[in-house]
Amino acid sequence: LRGRMGMKSAGRSWQRKTVRENRGIDVMETKRVYIKDTENVRDEELKEAALVIRRGGLVAFPTETVYGLGGNALDEDAAGKIYAAKGRPSDNPLIAHVSCAAEVEPLVKYMPESGRKLMEKFWPGPLTLIFPKSSRVPYGTTGGLDTVAVRMPSDPIANRLIALAGVPIAAPSANTSGRPSPTTADHVWQDMNGRIDMVIDGGAVGIGVESTIVDVSGETPAVLRPGAVTMEMLREVLGEVTIDPAILGPVAEGVHPKAPGMKYKHYAPKAELTLVEPEMGDKKAGMTKAQIDRMVDMVKMLAKEQIQAGQRVGIICTDESRDAYHEGIIRSIGARQSQESVAHNLYAVLREFDDLGAEVIFSESFGEDHLGQAIMNRLSKAAGYRIVRV
């Protein structure tokens, strides 16, 4: 409701009415456009947004993973505006989003066989591929790299917007740098109102964590960020796939992860988040009931200690364990039985704890099979790898 009111009082046009802030960022009116029926998007609803992109402006839009902050990927100035709006270091490259396979060719130097296979199998969908870039893609978009990240989203709003814009759309997640990625238009509004031309409100996204990134520019395909196209699914198509060490643990001093974005402390809630994890021989195997019980007991104990010390304590539990907790701000992140539900709610829960002013958060953890790898990657990073093992 709050968002809807905000829209009414916001701009009538995307034309920039700028006032200089002392930080050097333009303050502008941000228009919010509501898509009535997200399954049957009409071109009229997206025409103005496409025009904004073509003219070098910025539009946030839903994709199946998270909301993106879009600008013309072939326009270095637009890339510069994206970095400014997010407060993001400009050495962190952007993903170019396309609406069909034919739009990839002009962006890449050549098409590796593994890339072609993955496109056929998983596009459109939550998979980003890293290719050697063509000269058409400006270094302003790739953070100075000779490779380019490309993704074809399946979300009908995203897909149609790109097609109507007639240019590939560079889009990082539409959050302020360092905040959890946005999974609703309200999240985007919190971070981007007054900083970009337009937000397209297509409701909550489906998946909730960012796309899987696979680098196909080298000899062996390498996963740089886990997502909804899982390791298990990739192995089925490719056989051999390596995994960038930055996914598995904290990035050591002097080591450069291949996805520059993975070196930043990302997805961070304002509170200090600690994960509690049972000792498991095989993280890919499911947790036993005894392991889950031990974990829940430890979360309760740590929370109690902090509550007694006068802290505002958040607890991240699951639908299954919800009733075991009696004190603190308790939020279920989804059903342990359904990894999809956990991924879907993950960032919204972290943002809610920010809004509630939690100072410390303790969270249950998850197995790392299938989508669990992406879930644990995001939670571990949000926790700055503060993990208590029981």
State how far the alpha carbon of 353 is from the alpha carbons of 272, 302, 322, 346, in Å.
11, 17, 17, 11
User: Taking CB under 6 A as the rule, does residue 180 contact ligand TXA?
Assistant: no
Q: What is d(CA 48, CA 198) in angstroms, rounded to the nearest whole number?
A: 9
Residue 97's nearest CA partner among 127, 76, 57, 122 is 127
Going by their DSSP bridges, the two strands 95-97 and 169-170 should be labelled as antiparallel
User: Taking CB under 6 A as the rule, does residue 259 contact ligand TXA?
Assistant: yes
Instruction: Between 66 and 329, name the residue whose CB sits nearer to ligand TXA.
Output: 66
3-state secondary structure at position 103: helix
User: Taking CB under 6 A as the rule, does residue 145 contact ligand TXA?
Assistant: yes
Instruction: Between 90 and 92, name the residue whose CB sits nearer to ligand TXA.
Output: 92
User: Taking CB under 6 A as the rule, does residue 161 contact ligand TXA?
Assistant: no
What single-letter DSSP state applies at residue 202? -
CB atoms < 10 A from the CB of 302, how many? Answer: 17
The residue number whose beta carbon is nearest to ligand TXA equals 261
Instruction: Between 173 and 212, name the residue whose CB sits nearer to Mg ion.
Output: 173
Could you tell which of Mg ion, ligand TXA, none binds residue 162, using a CB distance below 5 to 8 A set by kind?
A: none
Candidates 93-101, 320-328, 342-350, 361-369: pick the segment binding ligand TXA (CB under 6 A).
93-101
Give the ranges where the chain is alpha helix by DSSP (H). 2-9, 43-54, 76-86, 113-122, 139-142, 156-165, 185-192, 231-238, 245-248, 289-308, 339-356, 372-382
Q: What is d(CA 337, CA 122) in angstroms, rounded to the nearest whole number?
A: 25
Q: How near is the Cβ of 89 to Mg ion at its closest, in Å?
A: 12
Q: Which of 58, 78, 94, 223 binds ligand TXA (CB under 6 A)?
A: 94
Residue 153's nearest CA partner among 220, 49, 85, 229 is 229
User: Taking CB under 6 A as the rule, does residue 147 contact ligand TXA?
Assistant: yes
Could you tell which of ligand TXA, Mg ion, none binds residue 115, using a CB distance below 5 to 8 A set by kind?
A: none
Going by their DSSP bridges, the two strands 95-97 and 127-132 should be labelled as unpaired
Candidates 90-98, 104-112, 309-317, 371-379: pick the segment binding ligand TXA (CB under 6 A).
90-98
Q: How near is the Cβ of 261 to Mg ion at its closest, in Å?
A: 6
Q: How near is the Cβ of 367 to ligand TXA at its closest, in Å?
A: 23
Binding site for Mg ion (CB under 5 A): 173
User: Taking CB under 6 A as the rule, does residue 130 contact ligand TXA?
Assistant: yes
User: Taking CB under 6 A as the rule, does residue 53 contact ligand TXA?
Assistant: no
Q: Write down how long the chain is.
A: 390
Q: How near is the Cβ of 169 to ligand TXA at its closest, in Å?
A: 9
Three-class HEC string of 227-250: CCCCHHHHHHHHCCCEECHHHHCC
Contact yes or no for 94/82 (Cβ under 8 A):
yes
Candidates 193-201, 253-261, 273-281, 330-338: pick the segment binding ligand TXA (CB under 6 A).
253-261
User: Taking CB under 6 A as the rule, does residue 205 contact ligand TXA?
Assistant: no
Name the residues that contact ligand TXA, by CB under 6 A: 63, 65-66, 68, 92-95, 128, 130, 142, 145, 147-149, 151, 171-173, 210-211, 213, 224, 258-262
